[in-house]
Structure 1
Amino acid sequence: MLLPLVVMDKINIIESYVSADQELQFQFVKILDNLCASGSDLDGLASSYERAGISVGESSKLTRRQLNKLASRLAKTYGLDIEKFPNVAFSRASGSLHYMLSKYYKEGGISSDNMEDLIKASVLDNVQLQINLLLELIRYKDLPAAAYWAQYFNIDSRNIPFQLQDYMKHHPTVKRHKWQNNDSTDHHNDEYYCLNISLDQVHFIDNQGDLQHCQQTLCQQGNVIGVDAEWRLSACNAGVERIALLQLATKHAVYLLDMIALTADVSEEILRGFTASVFSSTDTIKLGYGIAGDFRVIAHSWPFVAEIVGTPCQVIDLQIFARSVKVAVEAKSGTNKKDTPPSHKSTSPTNTQEDLTTPSQCTSLNEAIVMRTFQKLDSIPDTELPSVPVSGDDVVGDDESNTEHSASSGPRGLGLLVKECFGRPLDKSQQLSDWERRPLKREQVYYAALDAYCLLEVYKHLKEKALAISPDFNITPFLTSSTAGKAVYKGQKEEKGAKRVKELYENPPKRTGPPIRPGDIKLVVDTMLQGLGRQLRSCGVDVVILTNNQHHYDAIKSCQQDGRVILTSGAPFNTLKGMVPEGMCVHVTPGKARDQALEVFDHLNIQVTPSDIFSRCQMCNSNNYVLIERSKMAEIFESLPETALNKCPLKLNGGEVREDDEVPTELRIARSSLLNNTNYPIVGLNDGLSICDGVNVVLSHNGVCLNIKNIPVGVLEHVDIFFCCSACGKVYWEGKHFERFVRTFHGVFNTASTT
């Protein structure tokens, strides 16, 4: 009963239905888990839904990747043990293994002395994971490592790839594998940025007394605190992200909070009080980089502080702050690097004090990107969140495989920002080490302290640069506050006791000149505006709608390749608009899809006429139809077996047919335009249509299968013409939905040119 709702992307209905029943929650996730098994026939299931009249569509949810993501999210939401769902657990572990090896071979994010322990902890006795490990190592062309692990796990020779078998024949004696040395044990290596305080000033906090002393020091008025967190790779924790270490740095000391010991030995009341005193205080400033990820894991590990870290006060995300300073630097120097790709994973980042982060379109510091730090940051490139994919579907191609670190790899995230500020990156080789081991290694302590302390130095550097550019610079817009949802800018006048807040999302000017027709403009909407996209398509606008598994940067590609205007909403707008030509990214106000469509029509000067209604397929965006008359559709029904027909006794929800004088002008014109469009050929059996395999009706000119199963037989009594999309096979007919849509936009249409 629930799976069809998954296909139709009605997950909210499912969640509402099972919300109060733990057994239903478990059973539903179990069903999803079974579908994720390698032997499940998802294509067959999709075909059965199509035959039942349930459209799977181009963005099908019936893929292992989508089902894995859904099952994993629901298991986490409902607090279910992921180990009870073996297929989802395996997918997460496989994804973690892929991520871990990628970090080692391509980025140097794992030191050699940690690599072996992580593999043993993540693979364990799972034979399929052991085989996946061999395949991954072969992709990286590290046959000695693959041979070592094949022998270590005593893998059956039938499960060893032929390439590796051949290597092992010629190398019968396999020695313990020596991992390529990624270590940087010399903390004062000139290659990397160094910690500028002594390790004697780094304090390990694992009991209540030390915690209370730490609290008193941190909460002194005027303190600036660097915040970072570390946790063990989730594959080593049965798929669970559990914070192991919280780093809090001040000018004179760094505190490493042992979250595991504190959880076991200190009461929730004291821990909650400590968290509130640090993150809810308006007397101190907290600094982070991609800090939303740290807050997320803290909230997951300590649910009793979720509300506190969900609405922090006086927090600055240096990722956002650095971008804004970069914008001001470019504005002052008169540069605008339009050709910079939408990711700062550059092969050779500039080592100057001026190159601080990704460029944007803003012309002054106070017009730069400003958003709440704890908002969702998935639209921002290179957020340094050490999480792992939930699925192992993405594999590294042979062209990317190399036993050496990829030549294009380099510092990213905070490491890159430190390099741009000070000329040397951070050493990230301890990033994915075992953060739950006690005692921590000296290298781990050094890494953890530096990751938090460098935030203070980066902030100071960026602030000095901002003041040099703009002496009246005000930090307030970059501070999150649980009592102020938007940024306030210095110099704004107060009106009736309330500060007037500058609009965060500044759209390009409205388009002027003669109105344009819906077919004369191309748009792309991101995943948050899918409803708007369908409304615009229904009005005849050429719209690409991003699916849930696509990224905001797919919109940038569509803009660059096809000249489409990007429609987005919220925080992604400020990121996207700086990466496309001026005027090619428009912010849409959150609200109902109809109101958003009217806003788009007004801003882009689009004039819709009744003849545009439903001139495009809502499923695939094509504007090519073929028409099937009622008599010819009846012939098709007679030629098909009963199993290929929809016997549902549904009739159109129409009631009595209106007289012509009762039909609104817009509806009359829309009907006439659809029926009299000479570009839509009339087809029938043996005249543009044929029956394939006895059950499928296909278009002769391109082989597209029409979705006849979606048509209830009873509709023939009421419908004269069927409109069939020649691109995807979706079949439409005039019903109450058509009439309701036209009436919804009553008064908006221009009928002058079509009456």
Structure 2
Amino acid sequence: MVQEAVGNDEDLQKELVYQVAQYGETAEALRWAHFYKVDKKDWPYNVRLLEENPDGNRPQQKLQQSSQQNEESWDDEIQQAEQVEYHKLPLPPNDVFLIDSVVKFESFLDTGLQDVDIVGVDCEWKPSFGSHLNELALMQIATRKNVFVLDIVNLGNKAPHLWQELGKFLFNNCDILKLGEIPLRSTKGGPSLSTLVNHCLGRPLDKSDQFSNWEKRPLRESQVTYAALDAYCLIQVYDILKRCCEEVEFPFEEVCYNLMTNEKVHRKKPKKVGNKKKQNDNPNKEIPQPASPHPAPVPAGKVKLVCDTMLQGLGKKLRSCGIDSAILETHDDHMLCVKYAQDENRYVLTKGFKRSKCDNVEEQLREVIDYYKIIVTKDHVFSRCQACNGNNFVKISRSTMNTLLTVSEANLAPPPPCLYEDEATGFSSEDDYEEAAPPVSLTRKWELYPDEKIDVGLCQTRLGHKIQVKAVPTPIISKYDFFYVCEECGKVYWDGSHFERVLSGRLQGIVQ
């Protein structure tokens, strides 16, 4: 890591030799001086002395050695006086799994998240000493029984479909609570996870492996244990905080929800003494649903909805049916739903913090379709962008796609992440290399424009959004004659078998 930080900068190389020598590690300083071939005239005096007399029997060297020994013994006394008891991982070693192959990844997805309602998530990067940010090296996912350490370095891009499954089953699953650490950075330092663990569990975390080279393989056993504990302790801290709040009747879950959604917590007013009848004798009583605003069936393209933060998954499904659906971001204020309803004449879909009877996204979709009496046809399916809700697309040929790809290769920025199959492709899966389904693009309920509407030189739509051509697998470009670019966000779609699979799968019984 020192070598990476210093690089080819001669001034930094000289400074390294000088600083190591000043610290008292003369032999180490000499090693770096030889390694970087630093000119001898730039060596510190004690380094030149060691080079000329390796036995160290000159008076100046003996005096220096004596001084160092006194300093080391003083340091040893300080270290012995400051020994700290650290928080340990309570799980046995065989409950911590290093996922470093595709086979192990598949096994983790098959069994690791079954019957799980809470996880702790943490990541590790190789420390960075400059403006360059290193790639993600590890991702730790802890359940109450196990910790799974995903080796990003070894897995990399070997199995993109498995990363999509992880996103679908975990990160897009509202039934699993995800706990993570938000670093609090300031010029004077600040509260850390170790401090929080110390307050809640009685002992701090041992952070000695924090600045490990997390990209080097194989990982040490201490590194795997450190990484596992960083994720598992999040669940332990959560349980302690929740229990303490419940003991004093503090609304822990309500406060957590309000913090996530930036809503203010309303303090409860003190109860008035008297025999006044409670306004709500049964707070869990289901509120009756009002009648549908549509007396007769309406086509999907005529309905406009807005989904709150608890219904983001439903919002994406509604878009796949061609229904104009705005979706609140995780940290948006819920009052934004009201603004959408007033400004854009949208119906508000909301869900309370407590679970409703319908938690399955597929069931929620059918419930909304039935309640609003929406007619969904094949022409409506995938007529809107899954990512941004736009319905303006530019039809471009394969040759134009190849030109855009050439232009985009000049840009070193990585393509946007593709976590969900239906978001990544819309009409076809990245894994589909069989014969494409019959084209349906000509009859879709969208606004379709010719490729003159894009800026090929800048690889942008006419609205200034980068066309995400690098997110399309190369075999797909060579397979299909035409592609469709969303003007609102630049996402690229194409016709394929995914369309027919959706009709016969999750939209079966919905599409007429």
TM-score (norm 1): 0.34
TM-score (norm 2): 0.48
Greater RCO (CA < 8 Å, at least 6 residues apart):
1
